[in-house]
Structure 1
């Protein structure tokens, strides 16, 4: 089981704060540093100093780290046209020496679209655009050097693109598709994903979602292996007082986090991670909401990472 640190910088984190967490994650032995791709805070926080662009941030972190993988969970297909997105991700992959994973989704938070003038079409259209983006990314990154790539869809048209730059990873960075949808998400994961992620669901529900994607892979005749993973809010402490202090800092109740996330003592976290592992999960994304609490990251490394 690999553990990845997953952050939400739109809640209030400068680049320097993200750098500190990323370097701690690398130094402490975690597999990856991931961040969300949002432009507006959620919940009762100030969100100051304001949002940071995910791919600009990851490009900088690519040069400040040397081992951990870097990625988004997840970039919204509504935020960027597929051609420029392919260029940005390929460049960061080059800058990191091939350490990038791309989590990509439909986009869902209408408030951030309104706040920054980003069109927010219907859910059906967002899925259509998402599918075309996935096909275009694969086409651009998979086009042999010296050849061009064209695409004609309902929402995007590319004409004789040079399909440059190429990522460092052959064929492009691994694609992560997440979500809990019953039909469209499993179909797209079976067709395009290298990893399928279930975010913020209980163990039993996660198992059901894994089952739907496995069935979609079978229906599609897919033989390429697919990585299964889960994302969970994390709140760990050596005793109840420390657990409660960390829950209070992120505005959550301990009992609710124990039910719906990874909360409790290190032993409790190890046990619950094991239950996800029994379902076939190979990676757990630990959503660290208080990015200023590096002692929390150190505890997770010493008492949880070391035991899974």
Structure 2
């Protein structure tokens, strides 16, 4: 099983680059970065806070590393035009010498769409836009020229040069809805979800069903999962973490318990676990130390 890092976009660029260098040196698999413009509130309200822009951070990560993979988790097609997505992906793949993964989603964060005047379409239309976008991006990355005449986008003999270094730059989709899962199975190379092992196992069964419904071998798709990790020997701290609103997306407890839970992901067929830093400490140094301890003491056992 592979292990990847995911810094909160509120962290300073210097902390993100320090983490990237550490991950590159210590043998982590990938650095993922969220693609948002403001803190999420769940509605149209605004909450102040730093959110560094994904497509500015990722080229810097590519420049200071030589081994780890990198990509957005995930870029919303409600916000980004497919021409921008494909051309950015091709260029960063060149910068990183073939280490880029293009993470895509349909878009969901209410307040950033409202604040910036970007329409957050009804779910059906949003997924239809996504379906056109992923096909266009795939074609732009793979083919000399792309023409497409859809309900949302029209492309006429469009180029995307330079092409990626990778013969088939992977597209990852983060989703759980049935229709999006079928689109993922048809057009993507990777799938991502949230959840502690029980929730993730349920979602993976839905993913496998979607693959089989469109004739895709689930084993051909790289799959990744993330959950909040709380490393503690204090049972009351673990209980409090699991009782919160993210309880079904949290693993909390001793090192032995966390290793056992991570092993369940592997047993259920997941290829990659992504560690978000939101529960790893209050300071830069605490978070880096927690990443190192997780990698040395826990991930190494798997």
Say whether 1:268 aligns with 2:268: no
Say whether 1:129 aligns with 2:99: no
Among candidates 161, 176, 181, match of residue 180 of structure 1: 176
Q: Which moved more, 1:289-298 or 1:80-89?
A: 289-298
Between the aligned partners of 1:276 and 1:78, the Cα distance in structure 2 is 31
Between the aligned partners of 2:130 and 2:67, the Cα distance in structure 1 is 30
- Specify the alignment match of 1:95 in structure 2: 95
Say if 1:113 and 1:77 are closer, same or farther in 2 by CA, change over 3 A.
same
- Specify the alignment match of 2:241 in structure 1: 254
Report the secondary structure of 2:230's partner residue: strand
- Specify the alignment match of 1:161 in structure 2: 158
* Number of corresponding residues: 291
Say whether 1:192 aligns with 2:200: no
Q: Note the alpha carbon deviations across 1:236-256, whole angstroms, 9 max, x for none.
A: 24x329x95xx8xxxx93333
Q: Note the alpha carbon deviations across 1:270-306, whole angstroms, 9 max, x for none.
A: 1001111111111111111157221111111111121
Query: Once the 2 structures are TM-superposed, how far is the Cα of residue 185 of structure 1 from its aligned partner?
Result: 2.0
Between the aligned partners of 1:204 and 1:273, the Cα distance in structure 2 is 11
Q: Note the alpha carbon deviations across 1:116-146, whole angstroms, 9 max, x for none.
A: 2322222111111111110001111110xxx
Q: Note the alpha carbon deviations across 1:83-139, whole angstroms, 9 max, x for none.
A: 011111111111001111111001101101122232222211111111111000111
Report the secondary structure of 2:73's partner residue: strand
Asked if structure 2 preserves the Cα contact closer than 8 Å seen for 1:176 and 1:196, the reply is yes
Between the aligned partners of 1:278 and 1:203, the Cα distance in structure 2 is 10
- Specify the alignment match of 2:105 in structure 1: 105
Question: What does 1:208-223 align with in structure 2 at a 5 Å threshold?
Answer: 208-223=202-217
Say if 1:225 and 1:118 are closer, same or farther in 2 by CA, change over 3 A.
same
Report the secondary structure of 1:151's partner residue: strand
Question: What is the alpha-carbon root mean square deviation over aligned residues?
Answer: 2.3
Say if 1:271 and 1:168 are closer, same or farther in 2 by CA, change over 3 A.
same
Say whether 1:24 aligns with 2:13: no
Please, which runs of 5 or more residues in structure 1 have no aligned partner? none
Query: Once the 2 structures are TM-superposed, how far is the Cα of residue 46 of structure 1 from its aligned partner?
Result: 7.1
Report the secondary structure of 1:100's partner residue: coil
**What is the TM-score normalised by the length of structure 2?**
0.89
Say whether 1:114 aligns with 2:114: yes
Query: Once the 2 structures are TM-superposed, how far is the Cα of residue 3 of structure 1 from its aligned partner?
Result: 0.8
Between the aligned partners of 1:280 and 1:168, the Cα distance in structure 2 is 28
Query: Once the 2 structures are TM-superposed, how far is the Cα of residue 14 of structure 1 from its aligned partner?
Result: 2.0
Say whether 1:228 aligns with 2:223: yes
Between the aligned partners of 1:221 and 1:29, the Cα distance in structure 2 is 35
Q: Note the alpha carbon deviations across 1:166-187, whole angstroms, 9 max, x for none.
A: 111113x211112221x21221
Between the aligned partners of 2:70 and 2:114, the Cα distance in structure 1 is 28
Say whether 1:283 aligns with 2:278: no
Say whether 1:294 aligns with 2:288: yes
Report the secondary structure of 2:156's partner residue: strand
Q: Which moved more, 1:190-199 or 1:215-224?
A: 215-224
Query: Once the 2 structures are TM-superposed, how far is the Cα of residue 16 of structure 1 from its aligned partner?
Result: 1.2
Report the secondary structure of 1:150's partner residue: strand
Say whether 1:5 aligns with 2:5: yes
Say if 1:99 and 1:274 are closer, same or farther in 2 by CA, change over 3 A.
same
Between the aligned partners of 1:67 and 1:163, the Cα distance in structure 2 is 25
